[in-house]
Amino acid sequence: MSVSVRSLSKRWAKLSMRQTLMLGAGLGIFLPALLLTYIQTTSRLESEVNQRVRVPMQLYSDVLSRGLAIAIWTLDTDVTAGLTDAVMRNPDVISVTVRDEFQKILVHKKSGLALQGGPLIEKRPIVREGLVIGYLELELTTARIQADIFQEIVKQALALVAQLAISFALIWLLFDWRMMRPLRALQADASRLGRGELAQPLQWRHADELGTLARGLDHMRTELSNLIAERDQKNDALTQELLVRQRTEAALSVSQAKFLAIFDGSPVAISVSQMGGEFTTLDVNGAWERLFCRSREAILGSSGAHNGMWVSQEVRREVLQRLAQNGVISRHQAWMQPGDGQPRILCEISGQVLAIAENAMLILAYEDVTDNHRQALNILGLNATLERRVGERTQELSEALAQLTTAQAELVRKEKMSALGSLVAGVAHELNTPVGNSLTVASTLQEHVKAFTSDIEKGITRSRLNAFLTAVSEGSDILMHSLHRAAELVASFKQVAVDQTSVNRRVFQLDAAIAEILLTLGPSIRKAQQAVHSAVPAGITMDSYPGPLAQILTNLIGNALLHAFDGRENGVVTLNVRRLNDAQVELTVSDNGCGIPDANLARVFDPFFTTKFGQGGSGLGLNIVYNLVTDMMGGELKVDSPPGQGACFTIRLPLLAPAAAPEVPLRTLLGGALSR
């Protein structure tokens, strides 16, 4: 049964839509007509049987039972036979049987017709004066009625077949005209759409369901055309984006290779460790291997707690604790143990904790100060044997040198925290003259002291003593003058360093802040042999972020010095400030250099876009400027570069910065150094 059902289902599935609809229409007409004919025939048959058989049968039974009662009572067989013969004349009567009260057959007559159809039997008692004197059994057939009904059924079936044939023909013609032809046209249009031929619109004649379907297909054709055009546009945009990404990745690879080369080629010993846990060593550079006489392969993956590098584990724990608390350490001295049986060395350790890809990394720099330490011990021993006055002078010089060393250490610490190369270059250049003079005087005094000590052992004259004291006095004056100059420079750089090491918000005077920024850029400007002119009106007070402002101006001026003049000297960078209204101020940084080509003007703020790769540019400076101006300080930034007139960057900043500025990552603060 299940196999035949599956076979029928497969055959049904193979039928075409026309065959399926025609079969459904035929069944829909034929089955209800057949059912209705069956119901009508059954009802008529029942009615005919009742009228032509049952009613006469009951009538015959009543008449015979009354007539036979007298005949049986009087034992008149002729009357009995006559009555039964009269009933037998009805062609529907099959047999008549009369029995006495003892069930003995008195009369039994039967017709010669064959029994067809279901017989109807009527049994009646024969009663006389209240007594049952016999029984009557009358049997009739419905064969004649069924034959008549069958002839009518045949006539109705022929009429139904004719009706179905005419209906099928009309339905077939109407179906082919209103459905199949439009469907074939739609099929041809759909095939054309499937081949991608979307230019020709669909045509339809009737506003019926197929017309609605054709209208929908035509709308789909229009939408597909639009989608394909949009897809082509997006593919072009994706292609351009892929090219930009490939160029960006190539630039990033070059930048990473450059930074790795700088890391490995740095003359300072540097190590990178995992922050936390055992502080496992992740990488070291070549200078580190040369300093500690240990190979990179042997040290990677090890911890300072077990590799024997730290002479004192207590000092190591102190260094790590300070790094965990402050995130930075500067010039912390510790004794270290190199490999290959080398004697231990005294190192000044500086370091900082950096977050790289959500991982905390510890970067430590090591400087061997063993010789300096020994020389310092020797100097202390020599100074202890000098006369009191020389000792006092030496003490003053030592205190001055200690103050200078402290100031330098503090400045270096702040510079390392801010990681701004321009500030380091400015401080180093400005302090070079006074510190160099101080070191020259100190070394000269040291030579005089050695010579004086030698003279004391041989015997000294008053003139030699006076000459020594005069030299010491003059050297002290020069040393004090140089140290005062160094102190003034340190004080002038202090505020700028504090600002650039943080993104703290404060109220400041714009002219004073810009003056301090330009002061730090002085060495870079003089080294480039260019000039920077500024026009900043007094009285402009800002409640904003001086550190990011310094970063912005440093990057813009440094970018102009690197790119604008292309090796030419005596270029001019102009910084103008004007107040727009009570809420805004405008800063313009312009130059009279070669300008920016139109092809590059729209990309100057893109990350890693630079025309000086390998010549000092990394492509991050202007991108960082744009992010600081628009995100942190809530301002606007635009650039103009008329042909042959240089470039002009215009910044509009609110005097009152937004209430909440987003956190600036460390790589943004380092952007100034990377872009130059």
Judgement on whether residues 496 and 515 belong to the same structural domain of the protein: no
Q: Which of 174, 197, 220 is the last residue of a domain?
A: 197
Could you tell me which of 405, 383, 404 has the C-alpha nearest to residue 394?
383
| Residue 247 within a domain | no
Q: What is the pLDDT of residue 667?
A: 40
Distant-in-sequence, close-in-space partners of 399: CB < 8 Å, separation ≥ 6: none
DSSP symbol at 660? S
Q: Output the domain CATH number for residue 21.
A: 3.30.450
Q: Same domain, yes or no, for 474 and 326? A: no
In a domain, 256, yes or no: no
Residue 311 belongs to some domain of the structure: yes
Which residue range forms the structural domain that includes residue 303?
A: 266-368
Q: For residues 30 and 66, state if they share a domain.
A: yes
CATH assignment at residue 302: 3.30.450.20
Q: Is residue 554 part of a domain?
A: yes
Question: Using an 8 Å Cβ cutoff, are 364 and 350 in contact?
Answer: yes
- Residue 253 inside a domain? The answer is no
Count of structural domains within the chain:
4
Handedness of CA 207, 209, 213, 219 (dihedral sign): positive
Q: Please tell me the predicted confidence (pLDDT) of residue 635.
A: 93
455 shares a domain with 530: no
Picking from 478, 370, 367, 379, the residue whose alpha carbon sits closest to that of residue 412 is: 367
Residue 591 within a domain: yes
Same domain assignment for residues 311 and 407: no
Write down the number of H helices and E strands in the chain: 20, 16
Residue type, 74: T
Predicted local distance difference test score (pLDDT) of residue 664: 45
Answer whether residue 515 is part of any domain: yes
Which of 501, 528, 562 is the last residue before a domain boundary? 501
Whether 581 is covered by a domain: the verdict is yes
What residue type is assigned to position 629 of the chain? V
* Residue type at position 20: T
- Rounded Cα distance, 536 and 509, in Å: 11
Q: What CATH number did the domain enclosing 545 receive?
A: 3.30.565.10
Which pair of structure tokens corresponds to residue 612? 């000086």
Residue 584, pLDDT score: 93
Q: Is residue 34 domain-shared with residue 146, that is, in the same domain?
A: yes
Q: What is the pLDDT of residue 575?
A: 94
The per-residue pLDDT for 537 is: 93
Task: Tell me, yes or no, whether 484 and 511 share the same domain.
Answer: no
Please tell me whether residues 606 and 645 are part of one structural domain: yes
Q: Are residues 25 and 170 in the same domain?
A: yes
pLDDT of residue 427: 60
Please give the single-letter amino acid code of residue 643: P
User: Do 363 and 384 fall within a single domain?
Assistant: no
Residues 655 and 532 in one domain: yes
- pLDDT at 613 (0 to 100): 57
Residue type at 522 in one-letter notation? G
Domain boundary among 460, 476, 501: 501
Walking along the chain (676 residues) 10 residues at a time, the average pLDDT comes out as: 60 64 70 76 72 72 75 73 77 80 80 63 80 81 75 79 79 73 72 72 68 73 79 88 88 80 82 82 84 83 81 85 85 85 86 78 86 82 68 77 64 45 56 71 77 76 78 76 67 52 78 86 78 91 89 88 78 92 93 86 79 61 86 90 87 86 43 37
Predicted confidence at residue 17, as pLDDT, reads 63
CA dihedral 111→117→118→121, nearest 10 degrees, is -20
Euclidean distance between CA atoms 19 and 643, whole angstroms:
78
Do the Cβ atoms of 117 and 89 come closer than 8 Å? no
Residues 165, 24 share a domain: yes
